A and B are shown apart, each in its own frame.
Chain A
Amino acid sequence: MFDVLLRILGPYLIPVALFTATYIINYFINKNLMNTIEEKEAKVKHIVFSTKKRIDPTRYEGAIVVKGSAVMANCYFMKIIASIISFFGGEIDLYQKILNKGRRLAIARMLEDAQLHGADTVYNVRIATTSINGFELYAYGTAVREKTQ
């Protein structure tokens, strides 16, 4: 009985085991990543950023481009799940989550860069996305600091 079952399911055992293992590891990596993002965001909470283009020249000084980027992995198990979902059509939740995480990380890194330059406001923030063996999220903007009287 067991022999027959093993012969039928045998070829699928290793892929299924790998799939489950990577899914579990991914869960912990994502949890860790969330902690890092929240830590970074808490440090730069005081910096205001917007997509506003015009800077009041009488109030601010020391303009400089600040940037932050993050490359997120495009996991194999995500590809498998996404291809199953796209057969029926609909929203691919996994990709949306990973892209949002990457975007938050990129913005946090950009704000850290601004903090390094002693800036308190970031104007004209733009966010770009590309794919190289994964997804790259890139955020950049103009950091300025308030004029000291």
Chain B
Amino acid sequence: MIVVNCEEIPGKKIIEVKGLVQGNTVRTKHAGRDFMAVLKNLVGGELTGYTELLVEARRQATERMMAQANELKANAIINVRFATSSVMSGAAELYVYGTAVTVEDI
């Protein structure tokens, strides 16, 4: 499965548009991580725990989107966009969407 955030894929030709596919997930870290974040907020710097959480969650959302594209028998997703919103403190919703297409070599 080819996933790009451009409108076309170099070296490939789009032959069919299958429609919009999407994936999302809402995730939190355990209380220990949240506590460490509070301590880190005292002095500043990067919150590595949350960076990890978001990377992991985004991968899961992308996998869900790809599973949906597989069901539609598409072999590529173009124009992918990522959106995030915080639903409560320490929890985030990751939302990924794109257009599933069938491509073939030029």
Contacts and interface: CB of A to CB of B under 8 A. Distances in A.
A71 B52 CA distance: 9
**Residues of B in contact with A, size category:** 35 or more
Contacts of A26: 43-45
B47 interface: yes
A63 to B, nearest CB: 5
Contacts, number: 136
B47 to A, nearest CB: 4
Nearest to B37: A133
Interface centre among A73, A76, A126, A141 (most CB of B within 10 A): A73
B89 A22 contact: no
Interface stretch (A9-17, A49-57, A80-88): A49-57
Contact of A141 (B5, B41, B89): B5
Interface of B: 2-12, 34, 37-38, 40-48, 50-51, 54-55, 58, 80-86, 89-92, 106
Contacts of B40: 73
A144 B86 CA distance: 32
A30 interface: yes
Contacts of A73: 37, 40-41, 43-47
